[in-house]
């Protein structure tokens, strides 16, 4: 299978959510963990019909539950491949606003992006209900209230507005491909805008060699394709990695960004540092452009549901 043909079968839904503050909302410096954490707790409350169980793994409904599929995804018993994964990538990414502002006053808007992958596109109504309910509970330590004002699709069409229970064309497939010819140049420049956590040989990477980035993208996209899009990404992984090892770093302006979040589920603080900044690669990277281009939407590395691992291809002037 040619890489771009296989990757084109990974369907995406991209949406822009507009939250409007009903009172002052104070958010932490990195807003992704707060949004994803509040979303997860509220999602479970909406979906769960067996609340006496603390562990969804013991629930008889786990294979048919929207919450376990979206938020506690695990390989189904009939899975023929990737069986060794204890957890598989969640089929969604919440991209928080990247602005430094973290205090929103009444009537101010908070914009976030939601990416749903494969079958998860069908579950957009659950995300709408969850954010509507989360607005009543509130965000941040002071539980600032908001309401879900509008939702737009990737084409800028309004598909939801407050006061309506109507969603327009929300499960339609979206072409994930990019005209990669627009990116052809002598170098490949990537800008990582949120902390990116990639492990190689069990250690967190601070300076991602190109083959390490490609390994991480192949690992994530293969699992997303198999478990959420219903097909196997048939590629010569060994050959691709061998080719990727020939591509070198020309320039790196990456820095390590440390941050910490409190996990209510695990009742502990978690350190989730990662690299941010810009890196330039030099070599024959053109065969990898479809993979790298798609990764801009799916993100790369660990904790992508928080919005970590977000990057963009930078066009040279």
What Å distances lie between residue 48 and 87, 124, 265, CA to CA? 20, 17, 16
3-state secondary structure of 290: helix
Q: Taking the model in full, what pTM does it have?
A: 0.90
Residue 112 C-alpha from the chain's centroid: 12
Q: What is the pLDDT of residue 175?
A: 52
Domain boundaries, the chain: 3-11+175-314, 12-161
Looking only at the bridges linking them, the beta strands covering 203-204 and 25-26 are unpaired
Task: Give all strands (DSSP E) within 44-134, no chain letters.
Answer: 92-95, 103-104, 109-117
Q: What is the pLDDT of residue 261?
A: 64
Strand partners, 262: 269
Per-residue pLDDT reduced to its tens digit, 212-230: 999 999 999 999 999 999 9
Asked which of 113-122, 167-176, 182-191, 193-202 is least confident by mean pLDDT, the reply is 167-176
The CATH class for the domain spanning 3-11+175-314 reads alpha beta
Q: What is the pLDDT of residue 124?
A: 95
Q: Which residue has the tokens 């509040």?
A: 38
Average pLDDT over residues 283-311: 93
Q: What is the pLDDT of residue 52?
A: 80
Nearest to 308 by CA among 265, 272, 282: 272
Q: Which residue has the higher pLDDT, 3 or 307?
A: 307
Q: Which residue has the higher pLDDT, 186 or 193?
A: 193
Q: What is the pLDDT of residue 218?
A: 96
The answer for 163, left when phi > 0, alpha when psi is -120 to 50, beta otherwise, is left
Strand partners, 161: 150
Angle at 184 between CA 179 and CA 187, to 5 degrees: 140
Q: What is the pLDDT of residue 137?
A: 95
The CATH class for the domain spanning 12-161 reads alpha beta
Compute the radius of gyration of the chain from its Cα atoms: 20
Average pLDDT over residues 85-102: 87
Asked which of 51-60, 206-215, 217-226 is least confident by mean pLDDT, the reply is 51-60
Q: Is the pLDDT of residue 266 over 80?
A: no
Q: What is the pLDDT of residue 89?
A: 93
Residue 12 C-alpha from the chain's centroid: 11
Residues 6+ apart with CB under 8 A from 168: 157, 158, 159, 160
Q: Which residue has the higher pLDDT, 58 or 20?
A: 20
Q: Is the pLDDT of residue 95 over 80?
A: yes
Residue 13 C-alpha from the chain's centroid: 12
Band (pLDDT 50/70/90 cuts) for residue 1 is: very low
Q: What is the pLDDT of residue 87?
A: 67
Q: What is the pLDDT of residue 171?
A: 62
In whole numbers, what is the pLDDT of the chain averaged over residues? 87
Nearest to 94 by CA among 26, 165, 162, 37: 37
Band (pLDDT 50/70/90 cuts) for residue 72 is: confident
Q: What is the pLDDT of residue 259?
A: 78
Q: b/e per residue, 157-168, with b = 16+ CB within 10 A? A: eebbeeeeeeee
Asked which of 12-21, 25-34, 247-256 is least confident by mean pLDDT, the reply is 25-34
Complete DSSP assignment for 206-236: SS--HHHHHHHHHHHHHHHHHHHSSS-----
Q: Is the pLDDT of residue 76 over 70?
A: no
Residue 199 C-alpha from the chain's centroid: 17
Spatial distance between the Cα atoms of 117 and 184, rounded to a whole number of angstroms:
27
Q: Is the pLDDT of residue 172 over 90?
A: no
Average pLDDT over residues 145-158: 94
Query: Taking the CB of residue 314, how many other CB atoms lie within 10 A of it?
Result: 16
DSSP 61: T
């Amino acid at each position: 299978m040619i890489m771009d043909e296989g990757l084109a079968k990974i369907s995406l839904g991209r949406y822009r959510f507009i939250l409007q503050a009903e009172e002052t909302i104070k958010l932490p410096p990195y807003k992704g963990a707060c949004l994803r954490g509040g979303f997860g707790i509220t999602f479970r409350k909406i979906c769960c019909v067996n609340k006496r169980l603390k562990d969804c793994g013991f629930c008889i409904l786990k294979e048919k539950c929207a919450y376990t599929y979206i938020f506690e995804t695990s390989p189904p018993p009939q899975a023929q491949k990737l069986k060794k994964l204890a957890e598989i990538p969640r089929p969604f990414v919440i991209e928080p606003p990247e602005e430094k502002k973290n205090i929103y006053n009444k009537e101010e808007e908070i914009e976030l992006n939601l990416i749903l992958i494969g079958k998860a596109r069908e579950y957009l109504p659950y995300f709408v209900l969850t954010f509507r309910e989360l607005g009543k509970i509130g965000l941040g330590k002071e539980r600032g209230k908001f309401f879900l004002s509008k939702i737009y699709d990737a084409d800028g069409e309004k598909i939801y507005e407050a006061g309506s229970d109507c969603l327009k064309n929300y499960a339609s497939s979206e072409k994930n491909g990019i005209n990669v010819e627009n990116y052809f140049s002598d170098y490949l420049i990537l800008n990582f805008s949120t902390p990116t956590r990639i492990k190689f040989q069990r250690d967190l990477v601070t300076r991602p060699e190109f083959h390490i980035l490609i390994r991480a993208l192949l690992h994530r996209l293969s699992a997303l394709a198999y478990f959420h899009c219903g097909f196997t990404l048939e590629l010569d992984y060994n050959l691709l990695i061998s080719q990727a090892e020939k591509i070198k770093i020309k320039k790196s302006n990456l820095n390590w960004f440390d941050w910490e979040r409190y996990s209510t589920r695990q009742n502990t603080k978690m350190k989730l540092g990662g690299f941010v900044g810009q890196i330039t690669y030099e070599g024959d990277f053109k065969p990898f452009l479809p993979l790298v281009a798609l990764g801009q939407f799916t993100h790369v590395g660990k904790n992508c549901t928080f919005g970590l691992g977000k990057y963009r291809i930078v066009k040279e002037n």
